[in-house]
Structure 1
Amino acid sequence: MPLLNQTALVLIGLLLAAWTVGAGWLVLDARRRARRGEALQRQARRLARMVDESPALPLLVRADGRIEGPARLALWLGFEAMPGYLSELDAGDHGLDEVELARLGDAVRRAQKTGTPFRMALTPRGGSRSLCAQGHLADPQVSPGGAALVWFFDVSESEEELVALRAETRKAKSDFAGLSGLIEAAPLPMWFRGPDLRLRLVNSAYVAAVGAESADQVIAQGIELIEPVEGLSAAQVARQAHSRKVSIERSLLATIKGQRRAVRVTDLPLGDEGVAGYVVDIEEMEELIRQFRRFREAQREMLDTLSAGIAQFDEKRNLVFANQPFLRIFSVPQAWVVDTPPFDRVLDRMRDAGRLPEVRDFPEWRRERQGWFLAREPIEEPWHLSDGTHLRVVGQPMPDGGLLMIFEDRTEQLQLSATRDTLLRTRTATFDNLFESLAVFAPDGRLQLWNRRFAADWGLDEEFLATHPRADVLLSRIADQLKRPAQVGTVAQVIQGATLERKQRSGRLALADGRHLALAGVPLPDGNGLLTVLDITDSQKAEAALRERNAALVEADAVKTRFIANMSYEFRTPLTSIGGFAELLQSGIAGDLTEQQNEYVEAILTSVERLGEQIENVLDLSQSEAGTLPLAQEPVEIFPLLTDVVTERTERLAGAGITLDLRGDRSAGMVTGDARRLRRAFGQLIDNAIAATPEGGRILVEASRKKGGALQVVVSDNGRGMEPAVLARALDGLKVSADGKAVERRQGLGLPLVRQLVEAHGGNLELMSEPGLGTSAIVMLP
């Protein structure tokens, strides 16, 4: 029993030991397995996390339609948890719609059966997410039994980019098409050169400009629009623009459609793609520029002719032009203007020359004038210079930002204005203090001006005249003052003649109070008419008295004339008897006479002759004044007549020690008249010359025929001469004394008779005399 127990105990012990060893091994194996499970779990979690974080999520679709996929994919499809079957992906308001689900199901079944991969785009409901599905037959290690593995990619951002790129592509294509159409339709020749700088594209305007048939011909033949300039072709200029990577613009002449035109050519580099170019026709612009230059030159020439000074500043405030009056007013040399000085320097120079107004703060004053450049309206101000010059200055802002300054010298105008004001005041004072009454009427007949005398003569009050009444209203007020009221029409005619007809008219009126008025209408230069009214009452009375006295004087003169004529005949009868008896005594009828008796008889005959001449002169003068002088009308040769007259006075000339020079010949011609009376006239002139010439003097008698056929006879001497007043008295018959000043009534008739006889023959007598130089008598006969 004990042995059994001991054996049993050993066996039990061995069993327990084996069980303990087995249990330990199992525990160790379990721990090893647990550690391996934990590693697998960690690896699975890592793989699951990697799947969740990957841009593509898998979906396993088994052959029976069951599906397995991550929760993230469920969220992409709009589910909180992944459904069990593929057909359950269509959940109404989320998931895939039936069309897309049908497409996906067909593609999955085709992959399961045939192994055909597929790719499609899916858009779940209720969101803006875009998914891309790529499916293929799953590896048997992943899922045996013909399952399909579908990878889903979230391509929402890529899709937006694709949509934007497509839109930009469409827009770029549209813009390119529009730009191509615009370039093709552009009127400017345009072209494009490739990297080799050969023409690759030209528009229709280019083709038309070079006269080609098509753009292909231009490109194939390389027809250039721009000719080489200074040894550089158009391609070489384009190469320069391409290498420098800057556009090149130049102006030159080119042949456009067979005509030489001024153009502006631009070559524009387009990176490595090539060079674009275009041509702008600037012929019209160049012509406009030339016309503008000619207009500016003509304008400046015209400004030089103005009296006002002109200074023009550009947008940079530099002086670009100044006319001659400006240079003269401000003493500026032309060379200084050529340097285009700035506005500030111009004002400084004016100030240094004393040609600016005196101001306290010159810098501030100058800044204010600089503001004229920014003004919107013209600015005008007066400048009073220290030398008394008054300038009217106008600053005219120009549209281009410049300034035009006008300097008008109004010094003389102001002086004239002051003088005019003085003259107006003087005229008003004179107007009001004239003896005549004056009134000025406008062309419409209204009274404009009047003096106090006018109102007083017609008894009109100032209040009525201040209303400037019309002439008809005024005349109706004064008609009652006339002796005959109907004569008021005379005043109306005088006013009408001066204002409307522009003629001078006059008239006379008699007033009811006995006064007499003289009217005169004078047209004024300003279109008005002046009416003058003069009270001639006293002159009328004096005129009447003078008429009476004149009638008496006329009658007395007629009596005198008749008396002189009768007395001349009465004197001639006894004088003839005296002369006859003296001649008888001289002839010895009464016996021989002694020497002294002969002298007495000669003196008697000389006195009879002189007295007879005086009687003839008196008779001729009286008849000439009465207009009854009988003149013979016969041809008279002047030079022989003058020769006889001079010969008759030879002894007298010799006795006085005077030389007489007779000039002329028979070319002097003839006149029609009375030879006896012409002889008397020329003889009287020579006698006067002999009387006025001292011993040793000289007398000149000259006869000549002037242009026009008139005969001129000049009798001149180098005697004492006469003053103008004495000469006038000599023509009236006064005798001049030896000193040429004192005068007395001469016994003979002298120069008055000569004048009467010359005028009776249709001629005239002119006397010229200078004291100390002599006297000349000029007779002109037709």
Structure 2
Amino acid sequence: MTVDMKIADEDVRGKDAARGKRVLKKLRTALAGAGSTLSILGASSFAAHAEDPLGKINTPFGVAFGTFEVIQFAMFLGAMGAALLSAGWLIRERSRIANENRQLRDKVADLNVAVQRSEALLNLKDQRVVVWEGSSTTPNLVGSLPQEIGVPEDRSLFLAFGRWLRIDSATLLDRSIEALRGKARPFDIVVETSKGTPLEIQGRTSGSYAIVRFISLGEARATQALLKTENYQLNEALTTLRGLLEQLDMPAWSRDRSGKLNWVNVAYAKAVDINDTHIAVAETRELFGVQARERIEREKAVNSAFRDELSTVVGGDRHVFKVTDVASSAGSAGLANDVSDIELVREEFKRTVLNHSDTLDQLNSAVAMFDANRKLQFFNQAFAKLWGLETSLLESRPDNAMLLDRFRSDGTLPEQPDWRRWKESMLSAYHSVESQEHLWHLTDGRTLRVIVNPQPKGGVTWVFENLTEKLQLESRYNTLIKVQGQTLDHLAEGVAVFGSDGKIRLSNPAFASLWSLKNEEIAEGMHISAIRRLCEPVSNATQWESFVTTVTGFDDKRESLQGHIELTTGKILYFASAPLPSGQTMLTFVDVTDSVRVERALKEKNEALERTDELKNDFVQHVSYELRSPLTNIMGFTELLQTPLTGPLNERQRDYLDHIGTSSSVLLTIVNDILDLATVDAGIMELDISDVSVADAVATASEKVAERLKEHNILLDTHIASGAGSFRADASRVKQVLSNLLSNAANYAPEGSTITMTCRRELGEMVFSVQDNGPGMPDYVLDSIFKRFQPYPNGGRKRGAGLGLSIVKGFVELHGGKVDISSAAGRGTLVTCRFPLEARTFSIAAE
């Protein structure tokens, strides 16, 4: 307030000075007016009275005045009038000024009293005022604040607001004072001292003065101020938060207590196809569907928050959002993060990792990955197999150092002079940025190439490559190269290898010998055209032209050539060209003079044999067909003679007819067998596939041999396994096979013995077995038992044509089955036929 009083005194002094100047100006004006009046009066008088010739002026009173006297008198009158007028005016002005001075003194006295009262009020211990005049940087301070609240009394310390105010409060105060002084923007704020005491600060301007008042608050006002500060901070935070949410490319929203939208950001409005956020709120545009919103409300009712992924359609495409919605007493707020791309990347990453894992599992090289804590994170199957470790142990994420100790304890790693130092050197890769490579020679003779590769995020990857086979292969390769060189040099086959440029790379002595060339004539690097000129005189020029084309040609598809070339010397060479890698070509020549001649002789003999075989087949077929007709007539007339219509026969005649009938039947059976075999050999036999009852086939075959078995007192023991049922085959051929088997067994079985037949299903096949107790067959006979027209008369009662087992083998193989014979001298014979359950026709070669 002292500053205000000084301002008031200066205003009073200024007003007095101005008033005095105005008075002097008025005095000058009055004097000038008085002189003018006197001059006018003198002139008038001079004009009214004419001058006499002597220059005297005659007055009405008869007194004559001279001109000079008149002028002096006029001037006197003018001066006196002006003086009188000025004196009167001055007296009046002085009286007025005195009254004004008396009023001003009263006003100054009142102002002094007000200043004293204001200073008394300002000097209270609860407020302090800072005043800046114009652009001055040095302010005036009035009043004081209690020191117990943490406000310094010293001027310089007080103006350093950052020392006794909190950082945020000092920053707020500096910004407010800057706005007050620069833009005349008033403010009312509440700040906190470093001791936590609130202060109310008011900023105002008055003319060129900027005034800031610091007010210490009471308990109630302090609480109110704290609430005001908190409210301000909350508003600022809310404004900042909403500003942040407005800039985010993620839909955000808030709802009131009733669940209605009251605010959305720009991203939310774009997601619901609206450009204005206010319109989105007004029209209550929802981002998610009804079911999704109901799910959010249910979750918030239980947990006060919802966190999960929801899908919705945005811009015509389905997107997946990671939604967070939090409820409070005032409503709720939510944020949705579009994770569609993240989900795609995550799925792609999972597939990539899985593919990498599957790929690494297919590698022969052992791979193990350890994290930054040296724990096993991944291993492939080759790693577990290489070290013989259990999968359960590896899945427990063992430590890298522990695995090295395990390898040592298992005796796989060789002992080191200093195991600890060696292990530390191996594990130093965890602190390295470069890959390391080592060779480990295991105790079992294996050699491993170990690559330790540090990972960018810590950890290492161990790759174990087994070089044992590689080293062995290299050794074998070097040995093989030497052996091949020696072999090529000693081969009777001539070999020459040409490069893509047509120059010879390799040749052996046999090549030069076959073409009667000297070693220096086929030196390495010699072109094939030069060799051609040397060889053409003794060979076919056209053939060598094809050799040159094959070696030097540029065809995309390189084909092999082979054939024979006959030299003028009488040699016959077999040649072959083989394309090799890197555009090389190998030519080989073999002297086949003798073999070609033998081959030609064999071909001629084979042709003769084929003609003989064809003649034999023609003969067999012709004879077979020609025999059927007379046999049929003989059998017909024999049956006719046995009927009573032809007359009575004596006993001997009937016996003769029986023998004729039996012999005719046997001969017809042989003829039919020959025809069947001829049909099979010709490949024209077709099977009539149908359901064949095992029991019916066995019964039919048994009836055909019943008389022979009865004649020699031989029993037939038949065993049909349960479930044998039926199978798909040619019924007549199956019955013929079984009849031949039983006939063959009856021919060799001793009298009074038993023939055993078994039928069963076994692994998709129908198996028929016939066992007899005959003399059996030695091993050398078994090799030819299925050959035609080669019967084996080892104790057999009848010697047939030797076609029974051949027909059995042919019909069984025609069904797609096979026949096995197990026999030994003195131990009988077991014949086993295996038919497929679903037969199909197979072509078989003639025996």
**When the two structures are superposed, what TM-score results if normalisation uses the length of structure 2?**
0.43
